[in-house]
Amino acid sequence: MTDRLRLTGVTRAYRGGAGVRGVDLDVQAGEVHALVGLNGAGKSTLMKLMVGMLRPDAGELAVLGADVRVAGPDRWARVGAVIEYPLAYGELDGRTNLELAARLRGVPARRIRPMVDDVLAELDLHRYAGVPARRMSLGNKQRLGLAAALQHRPDLIVLDEPTNALDPAGIILLREALLRRAADGAGVLVSSHHLDEVARIATRITVIADGRVVGRLDPDGVDIERSFFALVHAATTSRARS
């Protein structure tokens, strides 16, 4: 197994006390690892830490084998992420947005055009290639942002609530795109509220509550929703007691 991402004892507190504490987590090559939890559980905070949007107070965080604080351009060129808001500039059309995203990820100029054509076809975005992003629906903007994060075939993919605003067709296209990349050796980490959706693609499911990893779910389990709430309830109850 090859580590694409590894968190060891990662802690990051916000003013007021919220945050994540002592989180251990890894994403291996060829797997889709899902992070599930209620709103405010700490999923987005963890993902922000993974791409440097936040710096950890304690613990180690390695991206493609390199400490996140010192990882160089060669490492980041192999990462694709969408966290909070997609890379979609309103004044630019779909194709130009994707071309600029490729430049920012260090893709050589000669490779950009065919790469953008491929991802426009893969995520069924061709009809939006010439449409300014400000005229796209929220779902299509999200699809555009996902295309920007996936088009360069990264080895590590980090997506925060990627199915938000996507229509059913978009969800299926994304699912297939992620499974293809995982089959090619990428490590994929997705966060989600949608347990059914996660169960369809995840190799592993980690449950997070109150800023901590509180357990795992079996993607093939029969009543995944019940198991999820049991884990969250047990974790919050034991924390309240202590």
Single out the residue of 104, 121, 172, 234 in contact with another protein (rule: CB under 8 A): 104
* Using rule CB under 8 A, residue 105 touches another protein: yes
> What is the rounded distance in angstroms from the CA atom of residue 76 to the CA atom of residue 164?
25
Q: In the beta sheet, which residues pair with residue 242?
A: none
> What is the rounded distance in angstroms from the CA atom of residue 151 to the CA atom of residue 165?
20
Q: How far is the CB of 198 from another protein (least distance, A)?
A: 22
Cβ atoms of 81 and 157 within 8 Å: the answer is yes
- State which H helix or E strand residue 175 sits in: helix 168-183
Give rounded-to-5 percent helix, strand, coil for the chain: 40, 25, 35
The CA–CA distances, whole Å, from 12 to 6, 96, 98, 205 equal 16, 36, 32, 22
Q: How far is the CB of 70 from another protein (least distance, A)?
A: 12
* Using rule CB under 8 A, residue 92 touches another protein: yes
User: Of 95-103, 119-127, 172-180, 223-231, which part binds another protein (CB under 8 A)?
Assistant: 95-103
* Using rule CB under 8 A, residue 145 touches another protein: yes
Q: Which is nearer to another protein, 160 or 207 (CB)?
A: 160
> What is the rounded distance in angstroms from the CA atom of residue 182 to the CA atom of residue 156?
9
Q: How far is the CB of 102 from another protein (least distance, A)?
A: 9
Single out the residue of 11, 30, 38, 51 in contact with another protein (rule: CB under 8 A): 51
CA–chain centroid gap for 224, Å, is 21
User: Of 87-95, 190-198, 212-220, 225-233, which part binds another protein (CB under 8 A)?
Assistant: 87-95
| Three-state SS at 47 | helix
Q: How far is the CB of 125 from another protein (least distance, A)?
A: 17
Single out the residue of 2, 40, 55, 169 in contact with another protein (rule: CB under 8 A): 55
Token pair 């010439």 is at which residue? Answer: 130
Binding mask 13-42 for another protein (x = CB under 8 A): -x----------------------------
Cβ neighbour number for residue 112 with a 10 Å cutoff = 19
* Using rule CB under 8 A, residue 11 touches another protein: no
The dihedrals phi and psi of 124, each to the nearest 5 degrees, come to: 50, 50
User: Of 29-37, 100-108, 115-123, 208-216, which part binds another protein (CB under 8 A)?
Assistant: 100-108
Return residues touching another protein (CB under 8 A): 14, 48, 50-55, 72-74, 76-77, 79, 81-92, 96, 100-101, 103-106, 108, 145, 148, 158
